[in-house]
């Protein structure tokens, strides 16, 4: 039975103190897990850093570039590595004497909200942004970013932002949405706007957008411009936004994440289409085409198709709100209630991916789970790592992966990584995963008994040459064969994978003591054959256990 060793080194987050991690894998211990907190202390007196989503952290020659997200996004710099297994406080600073806001919403400028009448007047320098930039009218927060080569040479920061256009009341200001203008905001009716304390969204007048942004970099890896270049939306909800008569068809695209793989930027985003076509959608673009919205593609279930409606440009976006988007297929269906889906690749393998999914469970609790994939499209079942009573009590909002180098670039080591998320105070919770190191058994040979009791769980299993520890209706793998037995050094193992499966192969002593984790990998349907090197193994009888979520098979092997 797989066990998680869970340690808690904090006192602030008492709401997590009763949390226990359970895994669906029937496998030996894989990770030790610890939980820590990071608090941000900003040196800038006139600007406060507050993270609604986890910060995007990119390398900078003397430390780290941090993109912090709220109604807008700001860029900060610091020299401390967030990937430290401890409660810590990070001091951050601006690079300039003036605040530099790199991704702004249209209603919120320079850390203040403006009267909508003033924003729409010719007196306001950014009047056109308020009037025409529908995709970031109320909110424009960077959720994911990468450093890539620009089209004209040199590096750029390419960022994906979550934009919002909605009815909203902030203080006494009323902001009317422009996607469904027939749903009119009414200051005396809270059901017609987002706002209040605690803040609640009016979903009938809420529309999300997936936006692209970029900025050139200087030689010191800082940004060279005051604002990101805004390329507007790069994808479209499958149902469109509203019908011709003004009825809402979707709440748009929300909470993006991205990963670079094989020359492409792959983007996962929540499509909140209300006609049954929504879910987690997969979008991609070649790195060299990242700033060209018309080059984006989305997965249809069979092929890659255009992610935007034909003829669309951001300059005429208001004429496209009634146009349906692509007939794409979700990689996670809309009935899973996903809030965010973030992916990383294990550095030890070319096509071994892990996702962290935040979702609302059927009992309205908030859950965070791992999934696994070998192709970025087909994903395993959920493996829960965190639970909270609801959104308000969650300390792991919008989770992402953080590698041991302190970066959120979508690449992690199996040996050690973090999952980070935010709390309601704008600071960060870190779940630290360290692969458990299995110890070798004692010296000398191990005596064999064909009826040895392996281990005790809620059931007892007796050991024969091959034992199935658990059966399920869905058999993901079968026909496990090992050769030669006995062996002096190398052992071939073969098995058939019938459907997408996360396979673990582990070695135990005959009395159930863990010896070594041999394979941990996601397989597509195929016949698998691997050669295992046991030349350094001491002589004796061992158990080789092959397992996935549903089924485990054990083979007895003899090392001469």
> What is the per-residue pLDDT across 174-212, written as a single tens digit (0 to 9) for each?
999 999 999 999 999 999 999 998 899 999 999 999 999
What is the widest separation between alpha-carbon atoms in the chain? 88
Q: Which of 336, 359, 381 is the last residue of a domain?
A: 336
Say yes or no: 327 and 472 in one domain.
Answer: no
What's the mean pLDDT in 467-479? 48
Residue 331 resides in a domain = yes
Rounded Cα–Cα distance for residues 3 and 26 (Å): 9
- The count of domains in the chain is 2
Q: Do 323 and 462 fall within a single domain? A: no
What domain range includes position 124?
Answer: 105-336
- Give residue 229's pLDDT: 92
> 328 and 457: one domain?
no
Task: Judge whether 172 and 216 are in contact, CB under 8 Å.
Answer: no
Q: Are 321 and 460 found together in one domain? A: no
pLDDT of the residue at 30: 60
- Give yes or no for residue 171 having a pLDDT over 80: yes
Q: Are residues 470 and 324 in the same domain?
A: no
Q: What is the pLDDT of residues 284-300, one digit of tens each?
A: 999 999 999 999 999 99
Question: Euclidean distance between the first and final Cα of the chain, in Å?
Answer: 28
pLDDT of residue 559: 86
Residue 56 forms part of a structural domain: no
Tell whether 356 is covered by a domain. no
The HSE-up count of residue 97 (CA atoms within 13 Å, CB side) is 0
Q: Which one has a higher pLDDT value, 35 or 460?
A: 35
- pTM for this prediction: 0.78
Residue 250, domain member (yes or no): yes
Residues 463 and 315 in one domain: no
The closest alpha carbon to 268, from 143, 166, 381, belongs to: 143
Residues in the chain: 560
CA-angle at 122, arms to 120 and 126, nearest 5°: 65
DSSP string, 31-92: EEEEEEEEEEEE--TT-----SSPPEEEEETTEEEEEEESSSEEEEEE-S-S--SS-EEEEE
497 inside domain? yes
Last residue of a domain, one of 336, 371, 399: 336
pLDDT at 433 > cutoff 50: yes
Evaluate whether residue 170 is within a structural domain: yes
Boundary residue ending a domain (285, 302, 336) = 336
Cβ 304 vs Cβ 363: under 8 Å? no
Is the per-residue pLDDT at 66 higher than 50? yes
Q: Are 138 and 71 in contact (CB under 8 A)?
A: yes
CATH of the domain at 520: 2.60.40.3080
Per-residue pLDDT at 21: 31
Q: Which position has the higher pLDDT, 297 or 62?
A: 297
Q: Residues near 458 by Cβ (< 8 Å), separated by ≥ 6? A: none
Contact 237, 252 (CB under 8 A): yes
Does 500 reside within a domain?
yes
Asked whether residue 443 is domain-assigned, the answer is no
Q: What is the mean pLDDT of residues 202-223?
A: 93
């Amino acid at each position: 039975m797989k066990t998680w060793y869970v340690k808690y080194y904090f006192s602030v987050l008492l709401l997590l103190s009763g949390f226990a991690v359970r895994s669906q894998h029937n496998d030996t211990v894989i990770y030790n897990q610890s939980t820590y907190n990071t608090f941000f202390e900003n040196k800038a007196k006139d600007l406060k850093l507050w993270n609604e989503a986890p910060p995007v952290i990119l390398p900078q020659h003397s430390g780290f570039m941090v993109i912090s997200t709220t109604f807008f996004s700001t860029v900060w710099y610091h020299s401390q590595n967030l990937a430290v297994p401890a409660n810590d406080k990070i001091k951050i600073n601006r690079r300039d004497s003036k605040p530099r806001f790199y991704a702004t919403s249209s209603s919120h400028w320079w850390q203040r909200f403006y009267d909508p009448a003033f924003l729409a007047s010719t007196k306001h320098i950014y009047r056109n942004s308020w009037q025409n930039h529908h995709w970031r009218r109320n909110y424009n927060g960077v959720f994911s970013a990468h450093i890539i080569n620009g089209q004209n040479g040199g590096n750029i920061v390419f960022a994906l932002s979550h934009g919002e256009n909605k009815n909203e009341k902030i203080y006494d200001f009323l902001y009317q949405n422009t996607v469904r203008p027939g749903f009119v905001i009414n200051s005396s009716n809270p059901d017609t706007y987002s706002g209040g304390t605690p803040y609640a969204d009016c979903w009938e007048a809420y529309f999300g957008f997936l936006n692209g942004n970029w900025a050139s970099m200087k030689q010191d890896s800082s940004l060279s411009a005051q604002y990101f270049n805004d390329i507007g939306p790069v994808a479209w909800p499958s149902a469109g936004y509203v019908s011709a008569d003004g009825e809402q068809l979707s709440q748009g695209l929300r909470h993006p994440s991205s990963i670079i793989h094989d020359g492409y930027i792959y983007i996962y985003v929540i499509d909140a289409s209300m006609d049954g076509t929504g879910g987690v959608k997969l979008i991609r673009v070649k790195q060299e085409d990242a700033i060209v919205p018309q080059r984006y593609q989305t997965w249809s279930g069979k092929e890659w198709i255009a992610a935007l409606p034909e003829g669309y440009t951001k300059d005429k976006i208001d004429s496209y709100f009634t146009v349906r988007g692509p007939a794409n297929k979700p990689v996670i269906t809309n009935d899973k209630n996903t809030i965010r889906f973030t992916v990383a690749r294990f550095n030890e393998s070319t096509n071994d991916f892990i996702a962290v999914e935040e979702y609302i469970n059927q009992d309205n609790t908030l859950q965070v789970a791992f999934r696994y994939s070998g192709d970025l499209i087909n994903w395993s079942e959920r493996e829960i790592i965190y639970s909270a009573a609801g959104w308000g009590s969650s300390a792991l909002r919008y989770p992402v992966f953080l590698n041991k180098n302190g970066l959120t670039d979508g690449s992690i080591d199996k040996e050690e990584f973090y999952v980070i998320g935010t709390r309601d105070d704008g600071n960060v919770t870190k779940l630290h995963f360290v692969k458990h190191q299995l110890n070798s058994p004692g010296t000398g040979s191990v005596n064999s008994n064909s009826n040895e009791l392996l281990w005790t769980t809620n059931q007892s299993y007796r050991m024969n040459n091959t034992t199935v520890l658990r059966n399920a209706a869905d058999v993901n793998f079968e026909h496990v064969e090992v050769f030669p037995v006995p062996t002096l050094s190398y052992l071939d193992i073969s098995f058939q994978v019938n459907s997408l499966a996360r396979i673990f192969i582990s070695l135990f002593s005959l009395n159930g003591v863990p010896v070594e984790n041999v394979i941990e990998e996601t397989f597509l349907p195929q016949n698998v054959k691997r050669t295992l090197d046991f030349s350094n193994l001491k002589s004796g009888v061992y158990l080789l256990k092959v397992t996935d979520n549903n089924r485990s098979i054990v083979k007895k092997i003899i090392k001469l």
